[in-house]
Structure 1
């Protein structure tokens, strides 16, 4: 590094001046400041912040270099340092959001494109990548046209089961993708077990994990910040997520239709459903089912979690399939 430049970690929550400088650079680069970040690194020319980059878990975000310094190879230095830090944290597979025009730069740093649209480019680097995931789906494909459902199942309710059963009645195969993010009350492992138990009676249903490729902190972080996410940001992320499903995953499994529940509670999930309709167009059918209601009360995982905390056995028995109820009783 040029002797005139120094570099250091910026503690955004503790360093008021550092945070202000970082916000100015983000604004100049046209990047969001309302991001969840674990680590931020900065390069300085004297006291002026001239380059920065951050990550959350294994997702590189908020990478920016001042226009006056873009010939200085600072981007490479930022990315190299972030990767070293992620390695220290046990991550060896990385995701990256950037602007579409940056593709060649990041390709030269070893990143591969997953998907791109007019707003954002989504890339990754490391072993066990998207091509490996698509190969895994291909190997587990069943014959016949398919339907897709993506769910968090936190936990798996009668509403989720109704969605799967409806799809299973009307399609040769149903592929249920369970979110792999551990940002919910129940772990990925537990949620997948509850889903598999809850659909075990349906012979034409296959359950997959999403890994990091659908509704994840990488593709759709607004989903996990439902109370805080700006809807314009959520829509951009939702479109990217829908695009991955339509262009990459649906063709591998011959999925022609995706089922979702309507969304009376969450604005972000409603935006996601709208984004899917826009992105899917006529090529992929989106079926929005009315949410299952019991005696006029809409079934939701949120209500179930509340009932669990309040030991409301009556609601749990009404809203959960026996498989989930028994699993929760045995394990929690």
Structure 2
């Protein structure tokens, strides 16, 4: 037996073999992968695992080789690859029936649904994140949450936050920490902070990897390319994690979202939240703010940036966001 790298983008024969192997293991071959290895018995693929950023995924072992300790070999090889590129904290998706195996290899469960278990290893971890959140907790009762990417922060976002602030004692406004946007996480966070500074009952917080991230909800960042079935499974996991582990720490009883006329994946997410939250958390869907009959969106702002139509952008975003857009133009 030997471990080899599988170059999915170069070797179509091996890719087909890998894909068939995963399907036989009741797993979906994933397109979002950086690195893939296989364990071979001569030319027969008997085990595989992959990484995407600091996430271990698509791990499977041939059932007739289950007692060969192949799982620990695959996980160790993937961890070594991640450590080589600088990661000390990793995430893992697995099925509920195999979570105990990964627990024995040092992974801790963060959240679970009927279809997925989301686990991690390394530091800083989820418990550290919850400790940080508690530092910002306010002693209020009618508390709400909003989660946004704000790429960039628009007057539509501001409208959503303002409406939530009118209806709540405290609004915890989470800004995605994921670096997969035109505007980097630090800039987006600062623009949101500046944009809501006048709203005294709004607390701006980072999501780290625990809300709408490459770890919890990778399909969110694929938008129109994402498969609806996969997006739904991930959306339910993300919503479950929020409901069971995060909302309770900040006594959040309501989550506000905007209507989603543009993105099918975001609409899947809204529906998954509604279903997952049930009667325990209230989901409030607000109509989008419109100008001249057209809903304001960050997508529209980015399209106008491409067209260098800065006059049209000015009415869609707060002053600080507009300053940042002009700054980016002049880089």
TM superposition score category, shorter chain reference: over 0.9
1:329 Cα deviation (Å)? Answer: 2.4
**Displacement over 3 Å in runs of 4+:** none
> Which residue in 2 is equivalent to 1:271?
268
> Which residue in 2 is equivalent to 1:102?
98
1:227 Cα deviation (Å)? Answer: 1.6
Out of 235, 238, 241, the position equivalent to 1:241 is 238
> Which residue in 2 is equivalent to 1:117?
113
- The reply to whether residue 183 of structure 1 matches residue 180 of structure 2 is yes
Native 8 Å contact 2:50 2:59 kept in 1: yes
CA distance in 2, matches of 1:18, 1:102: 25
Aligned length: 328
The CA deviation string for residues 131-156 of structure 1, in whole angstroms up to 9 with x for no partner, is 00011001111120310000000000
1:300 Cα deviation (Å)? Answer: 0.5
Native 8 Å contact 2:22 2:28 kept in 1: yes
- Match of 1:319, SS? coil
> Which residue in 2 is equivalent to 1:83?
79
- Match of 1:109, SS? coil
The CA deviation string for residues 195-252 of structure 1, in whole angstroms up to 9 with x for no partner, is 1110011111111110000000110011011121111111110000001110011000
CA distance in 2, matches of 1:143, 1:315: 42
Out of 110, 130, 133, the position equivalent to 1:134 is 130
CA distance in 2, matches of 1:193, 1:154: 12
Q: Residues 158-177 of structure 1: matches in 2 within 5 Å?
A: 158-177=155-174
1:310 Cα deviation (Å)? Answer: 1.3
> Which residue in 1 is equivalent to 2:88?
92
Structure 2, unmatched stretches of 5+, are none
> Which residue in 1 is equivalent to 2:325?
328
Native 8 Å contact 2:30 2:58 kept in 1: no
> Which residue in 2 is equivalent to 1:306?
303
- Match of 2:106, SS? coil
CA distance in 2, matches of 1:328, 1:310: 13
CA distance in 1, matches of 2:317, 2:63: 56
> Which residue in 1 is equivalent to 2:55?
59
1:327 Cα deviation (Å)? Answer: 2.7
> Which residue in 2 is equivalent to 1:212?
209
> Which residue in 1 is equivalent to 2:25?
29
The CA deviation string for residues 251-309 of structure 1, in whole angstroms up to 9 with x for no partner, is 00010100000101111111100000000001100000001101101101011011112
* 117-126 or 320-329, larger mean C-alpha shift: 320-329
1:331 Cα deviation (Å)? Answer: 4.8
> Which residue in 2 is equivalent to 1:318?
315
How does the TM-score come out when normalised to structure 1? 0.97
How does the TM-score come out when normalised to structure 2? 0.98
- Match of 1:61, SS? strand
* 136-145 or 109-118, larger mean C-alpha shift: 136-145
Structure 1, unmatched stretches of 5+, are none
- Match of 1:252, SS? coil
> Which residue in 1 is equivalent to 2:39?
43
- Match of 1:216, SS? coil
1:35 Cα deviation (Å)? Answer: 2.7
> Which residue in 2 is equivalent to 1:259?
256
- Match of 1:43, SS? strand
1:103 Cα deviation (Å)? Answer: 1.6
- Match of 1:44, SS? strand
> Which residue in 2 is equivalent to 1:295?
292
